[in-house]
């Protein structure tokens, strides 16, 4: 059994709650699909926690931006990542060097021992490509993406959890036959594990998955949303809407 997390986005309170939930289930192997930083008020704390707890971490577009410059970011995301870059640079020298080296070491893709592909966005463009529920109507896009999937693929990036099947369907965890549980079979599928730190499926609880090779379970965890919102409101470099959306789950 392993846990797969993604899109923490500087939300340490959500990350800590998820890590506690994982530990309560006696799960020791954790994979992170990227976007540890960006948007939230605690990027360095999240970087440190992921390095300590995750066996494998994949590069997201916000890690890419933290090392370089934000590309195709809206003004709120760009302002947040530039502040994040400053926070990393202002850290004590040893911590700064460790976090930069960690960011530089991240790969865009990996495959776990079960053969599942691990990426942040999609196999077509690992750090930047989105797969949204509405994309089930775009057969050409789905065919192109699924052509790069051998069996199963785990992704994040859209912050919307669910399972895309190569047959052209998308299922949100709430709509699964056993709510929140997807049984794996011979059908190729892409599993979006949702977001720890900024869910966008109208459920403000942190989201992650557990995976045992035969099934995927989507898990939701409550955390101190109000506390994180206060930190964002108090930071004049972070747009206030980044706090509001946490409460709304949007």
Q: For 12-32, what is the mean pLDDT?
A: 97
Torsion angles phi and psi, residue 211, rounded to 5: -140, 125
Domain count, the chain: 1
Evaluate if residue 229 carries a pLDDT over 90: yes
Q: How is residue 136 annotated by DSSP?
A: G
In whole angstroms, what is the distance from residue 69 CA to residue 79 CA? Answer: 11
Residue 58 exposure: Cα atoms within 13 Å on the Cβ side: 31
In whole angstroms, what is the distance from residue 141 CA to residue 81 CA? Answer: 29
Q: Are the C-beta atoms of 136 and 102 separated by less than 8 Å?
A: no
Q: Percent of the chain, pLDDT > 70?
A: 100
Q: Is the pTM of this model over 0.75?
A: yes
Grouping H, G, I as helix, E, B as strand and the rest as coil, residue 119 is strand
Domain CATH for 107: 3.60.21.10
Digit-coded pLDDT (tens) for 113-138: 889 999 999 999 999 999 999 999 99
In whole angstroms, what is the distance from residue 208 CA to residue 161 CA? Answer: 8
pLDDT for position 245 = 98
Q: What DSSP string runs through 28-71?
A: -EEEE-S--SSSSS-HHHHHHHHHHH-SEEB--HHHHHHHS--S
Q: Could you list the residue range(s) of the whole structural domain that residue 71 is in?
A: 2-248
């Amino acid at each position: 059994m392993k846990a797969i997390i993604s899109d923490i986005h500087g939300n340490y309170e959500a990350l800590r709650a998820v890590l506690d939930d994982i530990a309560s289930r006696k799960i020791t192997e954790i994979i992170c699909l990227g976007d540890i930083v960006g948007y939230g008020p605690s990027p360095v704390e999240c970087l440190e926690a992921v390095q300590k707890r995750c066996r494998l971490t994949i590069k997201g577009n916000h890690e890419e931006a933290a090392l370089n410059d934000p590309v195709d970011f809206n003004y709120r995301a760009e302002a947040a990542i530039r502040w994040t870059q400053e926070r990393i640079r202002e850290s004590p020298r040893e911590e700064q060097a460790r976090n930069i080296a960690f960011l530089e070491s991240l790969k865009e893709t990996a495959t776990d021992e079960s053969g599942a592909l691990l990426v942040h966005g999609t196999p077509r463009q690992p750090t930047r490509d989105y797969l949204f529920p509405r994309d089930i109507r775009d057969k050409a896009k789905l065919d192109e993406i699924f052509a790069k999937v051998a069996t199963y693929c785990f992704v994040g990036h859209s912050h919307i959890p669910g399972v895309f099947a190569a047959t052209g369907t998308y299922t949100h965890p709430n709509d699964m036959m056993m709510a929140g549980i997807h049984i794996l079979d011979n059908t190729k599928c892409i599993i979006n594990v949702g977001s720890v730190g900024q869910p966008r499926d109208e459920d403000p609880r942190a989201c992650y998955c557990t995976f045992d090779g035969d099934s995927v379970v989507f898990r939701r965890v409550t955390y101190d949303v109000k506390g994180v919102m206060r930190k964002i409101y108090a930071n004049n470099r972070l747009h206030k809407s980044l706090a509001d959306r946490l409460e709304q789950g949007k």
